[in-house]
Amino acid sequence: MPTADAGVPATMSVPHQGPGIEAGLPIAAILCAVLLWGSSFAAMGYALKFLNPWSVMWLRMVIPLIILLPLAGRLTSFSYQRGDWKLLLPMVLFQPCLYFLLESNALRLTTSSQAGVVAAFVPLLVAVGAFIALGEPLGRRSIVGTVVSLAGVVCLTLMQSDTRSAVNPYLGNAMELCAMVCAAGNMLMIKKLCRRYNVWTLTAMQIAAGTVFFLPGLWYLLSAEPVPSAPGLVQIMLYLGVGVTLGAFGCYNWGMSRIPAGKASAFINLVPVIAVVIGWGAMGEILTATQWVAASIVIGGIWMGQSA
């Protein structure tokens, strides 16, 4: 039976790297994932100026799938146990399929600020779910850290300038909440499955399912008018496919396989912080002193939860 480490046989021992390094690698992988996810907003915004949303999502899935094809032999070598489909099927349906479908439509009905507030509940959903389903401890310090981080995200997102009017905020926010439930459910299932499955195999399953689910995007791509001059569009799509989809999913899944799901999910609240900072540093957006304080609160809450 394969272990959670790609390419490491179950009988092979991993060289000891020291407690500090060993404990820090999962955190570094998760931080890399949230950095990539935070940077994806600007990239997605640019791609959607030229391509249909379904086409963007399909390209984001098919590009990493092509990269993974040479490794198909290793990634499909796993020990399936009877009944695993009851976890594997909802895992890939929840994310990327339903999650991206629900969130993309939610953002058409509500404002990004309101959606950001709803999204901040993911760590809390995962922490409670991990306590119920996986038996992970739910300490007081972790709860306080999660709530503090959530409060920081709420302040940060509500203070962002968002002039778009919400077409149907109640329906949009409800869809965003359903998307967050899907994200939390996906994380819990991966956490349970990674005890027996290679995390890169699980990541490949997600990408393959997403490629099939968003296949209508190919039709939109082929039937659309030729894309006008779009400098850097190819590079942007490669970044979204290789970095944000394959890299971020893989890093996050690997990191979460080595630390409690509740602690891993706490880092999700860094995504809006990174998105705002990138918008300020790379796109010239205004970031007020109050927003800096809110971002610091988010980081402080995450640190509090990790030190529990």
Burial of 57 by CB count in 10 Å (0-12 exposed, 13-18 middle, 19+ buried)? buried
Q: Which residues of 66-94 are buried (b: 16+ CB within 10 A; e: fewer)?
A: eebeeeeebbeebeeeeeeeeebeebbbb
Residue 49: domain span: 39-306
Q: What is the pLDDT of residue 307?
A: 63
What is the signed CA dihedral for 113, 114, 115, 116, rounded to 10 degrees?
50
CA 262 to chain centre: 14
Rounded Cα distance between 40 and 29, Å, is 17
Task: Examine residue 234 and state whether it is found in any structural domain, yes or no.
Answer: yes
Task: Examine residue 88 and state whether it is found in any structural domain, yes or no.
Answer: yes
CA-wise closest residue to 183 among 79, 287, 264, 242: 264
Q: What is the pLDDT of residue 1?
A: 36
Helix axes 169-193 and 248-256, enclosed angle (nearest 10) = 60
Task: Examine residue 274 and state whether it is found in any structural domain, yes or no.
Answer: yes
Q: What is the pLDDT of residue 128?
A: 87
Residues shown for the chain? 308
Which of 31-45, 154-168, 205-219 has the weakest average pLDDT?
154-168
What is the signed CA dihedral for 163, 236, 213, 272, rounded to 10 degrees?
-40
The two three-digit tokens of residue 256, written as one number: 């979460």
Residue 161: pLDDT band (50, 70, 90) is: low
CA-wise closest residue to 305 among 266, 259, 271: 266
For residue 24, pLDDT over 70 is answered with: yes
Q: Where are the alpha helices (DSSP H) in 134-257?
A: 140-158, 169-193, 199-213, 216-223, 233-238, 248-256
Tokens 């890169």: give the residue: 200
Residue 64: pLDDT band (50, 70, 90) is: very high
pTM above 0.85, yes or no: no
Task: State the number of CA atoms in the 13 A half-sphere of 79 facing the CB.
Answer: 9
Rounded Cα distance between 29 and 148, Å, is 23
> For residue 306, how many other CB atoms are within 10 A of its CB?
16
DSSP letters, 230-278, are -TTHHHHHHIIIIIIIIIHHHHHHHHHTTS-HHHHHHGGGHHHHHHHHH
Task: Examine residue 196 and state whether it is found in any structural domain, yes or no.
Answer: yes
Task: Examine residue 29 and state whether it is found in any structural domain, yes or no.
Answer: no
The two three-digit tokens of residue 296, written as one number: 């610091």
Q: What is the pLDDT of residue 15?
A: 41
Q: What is the pLDDT of residue 282?
A: 63
Rounded Cα distance between 88 and 201, Å, is 11
Task: Examine residue 187 and state whether it is found in any structural domain, yes or no.
Answer: yes
Number of domains in the chain: 1
Express as a percent the part of the chain with pLDDT over 70. 84
Task: Examine residue 146 and state whether it is found in any structural domain, yes or no.
Answer: yes
Tell me the average pLDDT across 148-161.
73
For residue 60, pLDDT over 80 is answered with: yes
For residue 17, pLDDT over 50 is answered with: no
Identify the three-state secondary structure at position 162.
coil
Task: Examine residue 31 and state whether it is found in any structural domain, yes or no.
Answer: no
Q: What is the pLDDT of residue 202?
A: 94
Residue 166: pLDDT band (50, 70, 90) is: low
